[in-house]
A and B are shown apart, each in its own frame.
Chain A
Amino acid sequence: MTPASERPLTAMIDPAAGPPDCAAYGRAGGWQATRLALGSLAPAEIIDMVTRSKLRGRGGAGFGTGQKWSFVPKEPASERRKYLIANADEMEPGTFKDRWLLEGNPLQLVEGMILAAYGVQAGHGIVFLRGEYQEACARLHRAIGEARQQGWLGENILGSGFSFDIHIHSSAGRYICGEETALLTALEGRRATPRSKPPFPQTGGLWGAPSVVNNVETLCNLPHIIANGPEWFTGLGLGDDGGTKIYGVSGRVTKPGAWELPIGTPLRQIIEDHAGGMRPGYQLRALLPGGASTAFIDATALDVAMDYGSVEKAGSRLGTGMAIILDDRTCPIGMIRNLEHFFAQESCGWCTPCRDGLPWVERLLDAIEDGTGRDEDMDQLDRHARMLGAPGRTFCAHAPGAMAPLASGLKLFAADFAAHIQQGRCPHQAGAGAGAGP
């Protein structure tokens, strides 16, 4: 038995060597969990272990994984069609963690899917992969093919009577497909508009069958939880949450990148120790802690622990855990305009407030950044931030997510907004687009 790593998710990732094949994966500790689960654990025990591990969804929403699974009807896979879907549609701006896992160790995802599928007794697995991830797609294809050939996928795995196979759905690019009900609609070959809940996917998902959708990083944790136990997993976290988390930093830091660290690692440590702090000549002004749809926090909040509860107390969300840094030489209004352009473009168009509201916000920001903004535009922005930001006024969480950086930005950068309107131009030296060079 290989000693349990403190960085289980990335321990086997070696870019120079490429992803491990089935044998190398096994030598490094892989497949232990599958042997254990299919050999001696009941599906309910898997769900119980994952619940006790306190694993929460790593895709952004942070729902308890064991709890999510608990709503799935309990019939054996052989008696009822059920789906286990890996959400690999990583499209949150500023987020590049799942790519690392998919390209670095695709078998880890395969094994995580086997375990999740065994737990909820799903016979059909799908990886919903974003279309741009071509390298990940090729590596995943090879991994699934080899796993199938070696008997880790297919009929009657390890003689357990449990059958499960995985199919890759290569998508064609829409942010909303990351929303789990929109993802299901996309899999059914329709425009990917979200669905009304209930029914929840766990009872009425893909083609009406019970379906579980879990993020790639979430699933990759499972082999380690099952092999080493939930207590070991909770011990990895620094605060209330269990496990490690892949954190990342982009923007004008010395060493942008992603690192697997104990969940609850302070933000300051991630930025200063791992990302090497700001580049010479730049100061950190504010940041989005977990992707484009999380609220700004400013430089005074850097000591926040990067776990679900602490980031929420600091007024934002852990989201994907991938921070985007705003430096002092980049225009905050330009940055918010860029974010709202993204959200307006990626609105699915299904509900009116989102479809019409987000482009309106974008046009107001365009005007302010370009120097033709008026005082009353601020009231409009504020109204949109309140109306679209509150959950329940739009069909899904897209618009509230879009309003998180706007609402927080209106407070944090009030003086910048005023200066743009008063001066009739963007006062930042490089103007919009941050052309100052690296």
Chain B
Amino acid sequence: MWTAEYPLPAPMRAEILALAAQELHPRGASVAALRLVQARFGWVSTVHLREVADLLGISADDLDGVATYFNLLFRRPVGRHVIMLCDSVSCWIMGREPLCAHLCGKLDIRPGETTADNAITLLPTVCIGHCDHAPAMLIDDTLHGDVTTASLDQLIDTLRNTP
């Protein structure tokens, strides 16, 4: 079901075609192109996915297989900020469960959900390679280590006031 309601901006289409041209086969640019779309729109909508598939010369289902495969590609909308709290072993040992419970209570959401004001999405993530500062998390692209409930509260308050 094609709809041209939200087409990709022309410069982005050009950028995706340029990425594809650098590859031996255009489909090699799949992940890079999807990341580009997500960086701009926050997630990858079906409309955009179809458009990218079209630009790469592969089927939308094929590209959706790729998009749904990777943890960092979102096929559903997320809030303005995404908190990814590590749930792997070192962080678990160092107390990520109580932190997660605290965060869920404070935000009134469960992992995988977005706050009512659309400010924050909370996602679990696999090891982010910051185990010497466990528990660790990413807020958008920024890494935070040695997280405590106090530091978490402070970060959330700042985040809520950032567009």
Partner-B contacts on A (CB < 8 A): 90-96, 98-99, 130-135, 167, 169-175, 186-192, 207, 248-252, 256-258, 288, 292, 322, 324-327, 330, 334-335, 338-339, 341-342, 345-346, 432-438
Q: Are A92 and B70 in contact (CB under 8 A)?
A: no
CA distance A174 to B31 in the complex (A): 12
Contact flags (1/0) for B61-102 with A, using CB distance below 8 Å? 000011001111100000000001001111011111110000
Flag whether B49 is at the interface (Cβ < 8 A). no
Q: Are A172 and B70 in contact (CB under 8 A)?
A: yes
Q: Are B90 and A94 in contact (CB under 8 A)?
A: yes
Q: Are B129 and A99 in contact (CB under 8 A)?
A: yes
Which of B30, B66, B90 lies in contact with A324, CB distance below 8 A? B90
Chain B min CB distance to A164 (Å): 16
CA distance A324 to B32 in the complex (A): 33
Q: Are B132 and A257 in contact (CB under 8 A)?
A: yes
- Which residues 118-135 in B have Cβ within 8 Å of A in the complex? 125-134
Size band of the interface chain B makes with A: 35 or more
Q: Are B129 and A95 in contact (CB under 8 A)?
A: yes
CB closest residue in chain B, given A327: B93
Q: Are A433 and B70 in contact (CB under 8 A)?
A: no
CB within 8 Å: A-B pair count: 157
Q: Are A132 and B28 in contact (CB under 8 A)?
A: no
Which of A96, A258, A325, A433 lies in contact with B92, CB distance below 8 A? A433
Chain A min CB distance to B145 (Å): 10
Chain B min CB distance to A37 (Å): 27
Chain B min CB distance to A191 (Å): 4
Partner-A contacts on B (CB < 8 A): 22-25, 27-32, 34-35, 56, 58, 65-66, 69-73, 84, 87-90, 92-98, 125-134, 138, 141, 143
A91-B89 contact, Cβ under 8 Å, with A252-B94, A256-B132, A433-B98: no
Q: Are B97 and A94 in contact (CB under 8 A)?
A: no
Residues of B close to A91: CB separation below 8 A: 126-127, 129
Q: Are A94 and B27 in contact (CB under 8 A)?
A: no
CA distance A326 to B127 in the complex (A): 17
Which of B25, B28, B90 lies in contact with A251, CB distance below 8 A? B90
CA distance A187 to B111 in the complex (A): 30
Chain B min CB distance to A175 (Å): 6
Chain A min CB distance to B36 (Å): 10
A172-B93 contact, Cβ under 8 Å, with A96-B130, A135-B143, A188-B27: no
